[in-house]
Amino acid sequence: MPPQTTDTVPEDAPEHCPGTESDQAGKADACAGCPNQNVCATAPKGPDPDIPHITKRMATVKHKILVLSGKGGVGKSSFTSQLAFALAHDEDTQVGVMDVDICGPSIPTIMGLEGEQIHQTGSGWQPVFVQDNLAVMSIGFMLPDKDDAVIWRGPKKNGLIKQFLRDVDWQELDFLLVDTPPGTSDEHLSVTQYLKESGIDGAIVITTPQEVALQDVRKEIDFCRKVKIPVIGVVENMSGFVCPNCKGESVIFPPTTGGAEKMSEEMNVRFLGRIPLDPRIAKSCDMGVSFLDEYPESPACAAYDHVIDQIRAQFE
């Protein structure tokens, strides 16, 4: 009999898969040689007594959005930060950023919060505020030195993500943006499992135009489908280089297979737009300031605005 696809039995699992939420997941005889064995052995399983606490905490968050990328280095955290700055431009919109890229937390630097620390109060962990309506939580705030490596296995990472969702006092938020590590790993499975009852509004997928990046994006979209997270859309980042002086554009990563737009069409997901490379984006990220506020006249800023307007429109 062919393997069945259910919520807990992935398509690529062998015939006698015990189910990803079983105590035996990753350990049963059937798991030997299964491509998911590593993830199943470390991911949280069974009914989790913390889920009701997470659901209660998340009840004050209107929209939960994941920011994903197939590969590292495509500008996912830069995009997350610019989206957060843009949403928080409206002072009546409350925005939170949760950085679950545990082994490579860059959000504190990009958002100008290096050296800040988390405080604990009776109502939970207090996030760090960029401004009154923009709060951030990251493991980067917990490291004694920003150059310290975080070498954690799955269960410890899962535990921290759970604490971020259960114990952080986000208060009322319109948007919580979850910046995830590249690929589909423990962190993604944990977030989706912990937020199963609260619901995730959708995922934004960031890529660069070349085929080698798009291959991983297809897997990312497939992951979203398997865990039933709607794809808000795909953003093609570093899509050409615009010279800040002459405004001429050059191609850096040739879209040999049609780029993210064609891939989005093929995968039947929304294409949100292209953002060109501009060295001032990296400079703004290093300085921890909003590129959109610093260089409102740049072509990259107009591209960001176009993409962000489309995202915002989906929640109006």
For residue 203, list its beta bridge partners: 66, 231
By the 8 A CB rule, do 63 and 200 touch? no
User: Does position 135 bind ligand SF4 by CB under 6 A?
Assistant: no
Given candidates 2, 13, 89, 232, which one binds ligand SF4 under the rule CB under 6 A?
13
By the 8 A CB rule, do 50 and 181 touch? no
Given candidates 2, 17, 127, 196, which one binds ligand SF4 under the rule CB under 6 A?
17
> Which one of 13-21, 154-162, 234-242, 283-291 is the stretch in contact with ligand SF4 (CB under 6 A)?
13-21
Long-range contacts of 144-149 (CB under 8 A, 24+ apart): 146/108, 146/109, 146/114, 149/103
Given candidates 7, 23, 36, 287, which one binds ligand SF4 under the rule CB under 6 A?
36
User: Does position 20 bind ligand SF4 by CB under 6 A?
Assistant: yes
User: Does position 43 bind ligand SF4 by CB under 6 A?
Assistant: no
Instruction: Pick the closer one to ligand SF4 by CB: 35 or 199.
Output: 35
Residue 246 known to bind ligand: yes
Q: How far is the CB of 71 from ligand SF4 (least distance, A)?
A: 24
Residue 224 known to bind ligand: no
Give the CA-trace dihedral at 95, 69, 139, 116, to 10 degrees. Answer: -50
Residue 202 known to bind ligand: no
Given candidates 4, 5, 14, 67, which one binds ligand SF4 under the rule CB under 6 A?
14
CA–CA distance, 299 with 284 (Å, rounded to integer): 15
Residue 17 known to bind ligand: yes
User: Does position 229 bind ligand SF4 by CB under 6 A?
Assistant: no
Radius of gyration of the chain (CA): 20
Given candidates 5, 7, 23, 26, which one binds ligand SF4 under the rule CB under 6 A?
26
How would you write 178-244 as a 3-class SS string? EECCCCCCHHHHHHHHHCCCCCCCEEEEEECCCHHHHHHHHHHHHHHHHCCCCEEEEEEEEEEEECC
- Which residues are at the interface with ligand SF4 (CB under 6 A)? 10, 13-14, 17-18, 20, 25-26, 28, 30-31, 34, 36-37, 40
